[in-house]
Structure 1
Amino acid sequence: MDDWLIDDERLSLERKSILPGEGFFVPDSLEEDRQEQEVAEALDGAATVVVADPDADGLACTALVREAYGEGALVPAGPHELEETLEWVAEYAETDATVVVCDLAPDSDEDVAALPDLVARVEDVRWYDHHQWEDDLAALVDEAGVERVVGDSDEVCTADVVHEQLDYDFPDRFRELAAVTRDHDLWIREDERSDDLADFSYWSEPEEYIEAVLEHGPDLSPEIHEYLAEKRVEKEALIEKAVERAELREIGPWTVGVTYGRCSQNEVAEELREQGADAAVVVKPAGSASIRGTETFERCHEVARQVSGGGHPRAAGCKPDVYDDMLDYAHHWSTRGAVAKQAIVDAFRRLEVEGDSEAQTDDGDE
């Protein structure tokens, strides 16, 4: 396949909104081989290792660990990459290393299958998070000998947890970094700096972000603000495309906004909330989806768990298992995510039915 076919720079805004980024078209086997090699190189000689989701919260955690320990090799891992990432760390980490897992929650037994090997290999394993955990998976992690601390997902982000748990007298800028990260991660949005952190973590390389917040905390440099202003022109246009495609659906007692596109899901969800949505579903071209709630819908994680995902009551992610081959993806792009949308809408409907059943049972008991 010619490189120019997937070159983002030549795509119109409309096509860029519909199609996934260049990385999607690299086979997982090649990507995994590259990632494994990078993990092996990063862990060579590292006394402290951080396995973290490379978003603003996970990268803030990494910055906090580096400040406290004086170092910290980052191993980026998304929620769907946890299983193989822990396997690689168990294989390549130095035997005297401390491993800190941040801002990640397992979705299945397989995700934490490598923990016994990891605990047996290294000196210390800690796990800090703020997501919703299944009791059986929490027990597996605890029984493996991991020091696990999970904060209240309605009150704190993982950076808050790390800031509190590490035995270190952090300078004030790190306390402020955790607070502003929380403002974004919990979608409080009372501090205008939180959008800057979220956008910069998305558009920059992880090491660039970590270096910036280590030096400045949440107050980014003028050069970074100039960069963000330029990038936001396209960002706003992609948000507008996704909002234009949105439909409001009545599902039981809730109004759910459903849309598709490569975009910033939080801003799209906010726009749909202003249109009257209790919850928002943003299906992405790569096949995953973001689910966002409001004060009138706090069951996003319950919806996500039905379609291969998880998260928080007001913010969750998933990737419906509806793609068997590239023809399914072609259909996904040409129909703007019709099958994935339907799978998630059906999950909302099952919640509504479950609620009715519980109410009927309660009435019967009375």
Structure 2
Amino acid sequence: MDDELIDSSQLSLPRKSVLPGAGFFYPDSFDEERAEERAKEKLEDAAVAVVTDTDADGLGCVALARERYDAALDVEDFEERIEERLSEDEEAEDEEAAEADDEEEERPKSSVALVGSSPYSLEDDLQRVADYAPEGIEVFVCDLCPDKYEYVEEELEALAEMAGEIHWYDHHQWKPEVAEQVREAGVDLVVGESDEECSTDVTLRELDYDFDERFVELAAVTRDHDLWLNEDPRSQDLADYAYWTSKEEYVAIVGAYGADLPPVVEEYIAHRRVEKENLIEAAVDRADTKSVGDWTVGITYGRCSQNEVADALREEGADAAVIVKPAGSASIRGSEDFERCHEVADLVNGGGHPKAAGCKPDIYDDMLDYAHHWTTQGATTKRVILNAFERVAEMAEAEAAEDEAADSGQETDGSDDSETEE
């Protein structure tokens, strides 16, 4: 395949908005080989390993761990790289972060190894730590939650046999039986209140260390974005920066500066936001609204920043927002009037929080299915997710009927007792 066919920087914005980035077209086997090589190099001499989601919340946990173990990397080197990118006026793409991660392999390694993960690769990443880390290593798993224990059972047990200690800090909605099984495997699992704390909060509280005030503030600003409070403008900067740059760069910068990013990073973020705003506008313009039960669901398609698109759809009257991505996944965002996003996602191969969740319906059997997905702007995925909303609406109606019947029964019982007493 001609490289130019998957080079997003060569596309007009309307076409770029409906197609995935270049990383999508790399085979999984290529990504797995690269992940294995990275993990082995990072872990072979590490004293601590952090397996974490790679958003601002998960990476904030790594910054805390490196501060706790005096293992932060030199921030000046990263700042020089940012200045170089700006001077070259690069057209930054979604896949640039992956390329930047490749470049990080040439840098000094921290004794606190960062193993980037996701809900879809968690079991593989746990196994990599078990395979490549030294015996007795201390392991942290942050900002990740398995839907079922059997998804991670073998890998976690293998890790428990060779690790000194395993700590798991998270704030998602855990199923009680999964949490119990993880603890029974010998893991120190701490789950914060999902509507009050982010994983960085939990890590800050649980690590035995007197952190500088900048880390306390970093946790607060990360929470502001991760819980969709949007009260501190710096939180969107953290979220965007974590998405656009390499994992190691983000951890080094916030470890050194906290939530108050240096001018060179602010300039970089402003540079990237020009295109970001255009992609958001395109996704909002193509959105539709559907009535499902008592709710209005705004649904759209495109490569975009899902939180801002969801905010715009809510401003237009949606109780819930669905943003279907060109890669096949979807983000589901709620509101004060809709707090069942995780229930919808659970029906379509996903999970998350009451007000925010993600999923990737299991409907893509071959590349023709993806071609249909791109040319119809996610028509099948939209239909599958809306069907899940319908099922959740039916459950909500049944629950309401049960509550009404229970209340009615209590009132009847009370009146009967009164008449008997009389």
Question: Following TM superposition, by how much is the alpha carbon of 1:112 offset from its aligned partner in structure 2, in angstroms?
Answer: 1.6
1:54-133 pair list within 5 angstroms? 54-71=54-71, 72-113=112-153, 114-133=155-174
In structure 2, what is the equivalent of residue 37 of structure 1? Answer: 37
Contact 1:83–1:110, Cα closer than 8 Å, also in 2: no
Equivalent in the alignment of 1:195 = 236
Q: How does 1:159-238 map to 2 (within 5 A)?
A: 159-238=200-279
The amino acid across from 1:104 in the alignment is L
2:186 maps to which residue?
A: 145
Unaligned runs of 5+ in 2: 72-111, 410-422
Superposition TM-score, scaled by structure 1 size: 0.98
Counterpart Cα distance in 2 of 1:271 and 1:150:
31
Structure 1 residue 364: deviation in Å? Answer: 4.5
Instruction: For residue 90 of structure 1, report the CA deviation from its aligned partner.
Output: 1.4
What is the distance in 2 between the residues matched to 1:171 and 1:358?
47
Give the alignment's Cα RMSD to 1 decimal: 1.0
Q: Give the alignment of 1:276-315 within 5 angstroms.
A: 276-315=317-356
Q: Secondary structure of 2:121's partner?
A: helix
Identity, % of aligned positions: 60
Deviation at 1:363, TM superposition (A): 4.4
Q: Relative CO higher for 1 or 2, CA cutoff 8 Å, sep ≥ 6? A: 2
Q: Please say if residues 52 and 75 of structure 1, whose CA atoms lie closer than 8 Å, have aligned partners that are also in contact.
A: yes
Residue 359 of structure 1 deviates from its aligned partner by: 3.0
Q: Aligned partners of 2:380, 2:38: CA distance in 1, in Å?
A: 35
Aligned to 1:218, the other structure's residue is in SS state coil
Aligned AA for 1:205? Answer: S
Match of 2:50 in 1: 50
Cα distance in structure 2, aligned partners of 1:82 and 1:162: 19
SS at match of 1:343: helix
Note the residue ranges of structure 1 that are not aligned, 5 or more in a row: none
Measured against aligned partners, the alpha-carbon deviations of 1:34-54 in whole angstroms (never above 9, x if no partner) come to: 101111111011000000001
SS in 2 for 1:74: strand
Q: Which has the larger radius of gyration?
A: 2
Please give the alpha-carbon distance, in whole angstroms, between the structure 1 residues aligned to 2:181 and 2:361: 26
* 1:252 and 2:297 are equivalent in the alignment: no
**Residues 112, 141 of structure 1: 8 Å contact kept:** no
What are the Cα deviations for residues 316-343 of structure 1, in whole angstroms up to 9, with x where unaligned?
Answer: 1100111010000000000000111111
Q: How far off is 1:31 after superposition?
A: 0.9
TM-score normalised over the length of structure 2: 0.85
Are the counterparts in 1 of residues 149 and 182 from structure 2 also a CA contact under 8 Å?
Answer: no
Residue by residue, what CA displacement relative to the aligned partner does 1:210-254 show, whole Å, maximum 9, x if unpaired?
Answer: 110011000001111111111000000000000001111110000
Matched position secondary structure for 2:120: helix
The number of aligned residues is 366
Find the residue that maps to 1:125 and give its secondary structure.
strand
Deviation, structure 1 residue 349: 0.4
Q: Give the secondary structure class of the aligned counterpart of 1:64.
A: helix
